[in-house]
Amino acid sequence: MSEQYNPKISEEKWYKYWQENKYFQSQPDEKPPYTLVIPPPNVTGVLHMGHMLNNTLQDVLVRRARMKGYNACWVPGTDHASIATEAKVVARLKAEGIEKKELTRLEFLHRAWAWTEEFGGAILEQLKKLGCSCDWSRTRFTLEEKLSEQVVKSFVDLYRKGYIYRGYRMINWDPEAETNISDEEVIFREQQGKLYYLKYKIKDSEDFITVATTRPETIFGDTALCVHPEDVRHFRWVGRRVLVPIIGREIPIIADGYVDKDFGTGVLKITPAHDINDYEIGKNHQLPFIEAIDEKGNINEQGKHYRGKDRFLVRKLLAKELEEQNLLLKVEDYMHSVGTSERTGAVIEPRISKQWFLRMEKLAKPALEAVEKNEIRFFPEKYKNIYRHWMENIRDWNISRQLWWGQQIPAYYYGGGDEDFVIAETREAALELARKKSCNSNLADQDLRQDPDVLDTWFSSWLWPISVFDGLIDPKNRDISYYYPTSDLVTGPDILFFWVARMIMAGIAFRGEVPFKNVYFTGIVRDKQRRKMSKSLGNSPDALALIEKYGADSVRVGILLSSAAGNDLLFDEDLLLQGRNFATKIWNAHRLILGWSTEEKEAKTSEREMMNWFENTFNKVTLEIDKRFEQYRVSDALHLLYRLIWDDFCSWYLEGIKPQYGEKLSRETKERSVTFFEDLLRLLHPFMPFLSEELWQKIGERTPEEALIISRQKEAGAFDLSVIERFNKTKQIITGIRNYRQSKGISPKEKIKLFVGIPFLENEEVLKKLGNISHIYFGEKYLGASFSFLVEACEFSIPLSESMDLAEEKNKIQQELEYLRGFLASVEKKLSNERFVRGAPEKVIEIERKKQKDTQEKIFLLEERLKNL
């Protein structure tokens, strides 16, 4: 067996073996199901640290379920990501000198599918490198034919039930992606801007009225100025008219209670087509709506000589022109919140547009109840409050997007009127409906015009737990009946609203039951400076390079050791080194066990003591690990297992049974040790699948039916806590002996004598072996120079070695006594203070009295040692 573990060889070998033997694949059977659906990454995506954390957690859960006897099914797939993918394709076309508008829709889609087939899905291959045990035969894509069919079907169903409607609204326009986005996709960021004080000339007067605005470029869409009706400074102007700077358009001065008298000058410019609040004022006062900024974020013909120029460039040029014309009073620095696109980062441009909306209030109510009543449990539970707040304040969902890559809205227009359309799953069905609605049996296919917009990507992924099992095509098919509702969902809190809440609503709406039972929210991966990892900051390491350098198992362990549920992970590459060291420790433990020769003989008393202790410890820790998994504290479970293997098994158990040089181990002890090691490998497998399978297969010949990946984890057995507690005392004694050797420079090979004031000790043989003790004197007190220590109020003494420097030892004891006497004085001063004793809780006083007693005992022992010296 190699001295060092080679993860690269092991990972390639065992992943291929698992796939060849179809261990990841699942079909409905008599076993209870355990189902996970992967949060589908963008088809354009590549593996990053967030994916590594999320998918490692999912793989741990699904591998453990498989080893607990469940029929584990983890469904992978990718999201078509309308905005991101279309942007990639458009960029590629531009590189070839082609504009999107030069292509027909079909030509563009042909290009998009070609790009997707060439570059898309790479992330799924990268997940295999991490060891993810997805059922790859079930891989789905949100834009594939069957999933698109279900998306369209859901739209038609919701429309017929009155949930979907079409209407003019102020929407969030992303000029970079050239589509509108939902309110939830708008990220508000604090930005340093400017506050421009513009002068509007009052008609038929030499007076001006000044308005403060952060967006002077929108003056081309101004249709009124507005003041507060109780503002005595400006109310006299209400009813008068002013001239918009530069363009000279006449607009009225109106009054509305919405105006903040304390902002700027107390006068608000109203641009109903480019501000959500102005939009409401414009409707209430029946103002005209003038659009001044186009789909690309450029000023349109309303801006006259600025036509075709970018809105932000115009802001600068306009400020200069206003200043030249003495229409700019002043400019101030101003920090304000700016809405940006979650997808592209572009500054959102509010625009009025006819869009498709989904009424959410009725859908949200049962989805909120499901979480409130714990039909779905959130881990950590703190996200319940955030979920409740959002669901109680939910707004209608804008589901249409001005893109070509996505499911085209199944609305078919047959005339010029606002209501001259029908909704249908197919064009053929639409034609029949259109003939009936129009009372025109002569309508032909060419008379139909399908809505050019596509549905929001989230409108496909909200169906994911249903659609991956084709549950809207055949609601009673074998897969959906067996696997739905799914078991757990592992995701980030950043998509709680985008995805989790909407899936809950969809599950209840379309199947009458929640889509999953538990939601485990991971934290966000940050660097050591607590910054979110991103390409722009250059603080996000190459995930595949880390796997190449440390091995997949080491990366998995390193990430999980620092990722408590719901808390952000502060990534440090040293964590991966810790994972690699852990792998090395386990590898060497295996080499040590298998390297021992055996013979038929009775196991030593010390070996039996160690086996009894470790079996009880294993059962206790296994039960604790199970409890952590029930609480979705996966990191805590790994910490427990880490200590069980590194400390209990390697540092104590193996050292306790290790035969002396030249000796052989009893066959019984070795066989029990191998069994213990196999049980540990079973617990370890979900966390470190490659290393554990490699060692499992090296222990002995295994058939494919005996592979570790499908073996059953040992259930936690009964344990005797007193056995564990007695051995803990033994460990404290051994630690005391080792402290003596270390502090006095005594070699571990030099045998010692131990004097103890009680007649009996548990685990005597283990104590002698690990302490390298020649003889234990029970019930005796050594009167000569000795090193003493206390374990549970019992004094242990070791005669000092002849090689020790007694003068130096006396000096150390005197220094320690000086410190302890000072500490005791401070404690006794506190306890003699009547005010403290009367006012402090009883528990605090108890702690102080225990400090007093313990310190007095230590002082007594040290003084005795000093006398002996």
User: For residue range 280-307, what is the model confidence (pLDDT) as tens digits?
Assistant: 999 999 999 999 999 999 999 999 999 9
User: Cα–chain-centroid distance for residue 88?
Assistant: 26
Q: What is the mean predicted confidence (pLDDT) over 636-652?
A: 97
**Coil, helix or strand at residue 664:** coil
> What CA–CA distances, in Å, run from 478 to 33, 140, 461, 481, 617?
13, 17, 22, 5, 44
Residue-level pLDDT at 782: 85
Residue-level pLDDT at 835: 86
Q: What is the mean predicted confidence (pLDDT) over 850-858?
A: 88
User: Tens of pLDDT along 623-633?
Assistant: 999 999 999 99
Name 212's bridge partners: 197
Q: Is the pLDDT of residue 135 over 90?
A: yes
Band of residue 842 on the pLDDT scale cut at 50, 70, 90: confident
Residue-level pLDDT at 857: 86
Band of residue 804 on the pLDDT scale cut at 50, 70, 90: low
pLDDT mean across residues, the chain:
93
Q: Is the pLDDT of residue 869 over 70?
A: no
Length of the chain (residues): 869
Could you give the CA distance from residue 692 to residue 671 in angstroms, rounded to a whole number?
18
Q: What is the mean predicted confidence (pLDDT) over 212-218?
A: 95
Q: Is the pLDDT of residue 795 over 80?
A: yes
User: Tens of pLDDT along 315-362?
Assistant: 999 999 999 999 999 999 999 999 999 878 899 999 998 999 999 999
Residue-level pLDDT at 355: 93
Residue-level pLDDT at 54: 94
Q: Is the pLDDT of residue 564 over 80?
A: no
φ, ψ of residue 251 to 5 degrees: the values are -140, 150
Q: Is the pLDDT of residue 563 over 80?
A: no
Band of residue 803 on the pLDDT scale cut at 50, 70, 90: low
Q: What is the mean predicted confidence (pLDDT) over 440-451?
A: 95
Give residue for tokens 């082609």.
98
CB atoms within 10 A of CB 612: 15
Tokens of 856: 């007095």
pTM for this model (two decimals): 0.85
Residue-level pLDDT at 442: 93
The backbone region for 304, taken as left when phi is positive above 0, alpha when psi lies in -120 to 50, beta otherwise, is: left
Q: Is the pLDDT of residue 535 over 70?
A: no
Identify whether 485 is preceded by a cis peptide bond (ω within 30 of 0). yes
Tokens of 101: 């508008």
Q: What is the mean predicted confidence (pLDDT) over 508-537?
A: 87
Range in 5-19, 178-192, 691-705 with the lowest mean pLDDT: 178-192
Q: Are 295 and 346 in contact (CB under 8 A)?
A: no
Could you give the CA distance from residue 742 to residue 380 in angstroms, rounded to a whole number?
45
Give the DSSP letter string of 352-387: EEEEEEE--HHHHHHHHHHHHTTSSEEESTTHHHHH
> What CA–CA distances, in Å, run from 739 to 58, 743, 787, 846?
43, 6, 10, 29
How many DSSP H helices and E strands does the chain contain?
Answer: 28, 31
Instruction: Pick the closest to residue 457 from 141, 685, 51, 92 (CA basis).
Output: 141
More confident residue, 532 or 264: 264
Residue-level pLDDT at 644: 98
User: Tens of pLDDT along 241-264?
Assistant: 999 999 999 999 999 999 998 889
Residue-level pLDDT at 845: 87
Half-sphere exposure of 77 (CA within 13 A, CB side): 25
Residues sharing a CB contact under 8 Å with residue 289, sequence separation 6 or more, in sequence order: 223, 272, 273, 279, 282, 352
Q: Is the pLDDT of residue 566 over 80?
A: no
Q: Are 266 and 211 in contact (CB under 8 A)?
A: no
Q: Is the pLDDT of residue 415 over 90?
A: no
Q: What is the mean predicted confidence (pLDDT) over 444-450?
A: 95
**What whole-number percentage of the chain has pLDDT above 90?**
77
Which stretch of DSSP H or E encloses residue 211? strand 208-213
Q: Is the pLDDT of residue 565 over 70?
A: no
Helices (H), 21-119: 49-67, 82-95, 105-119
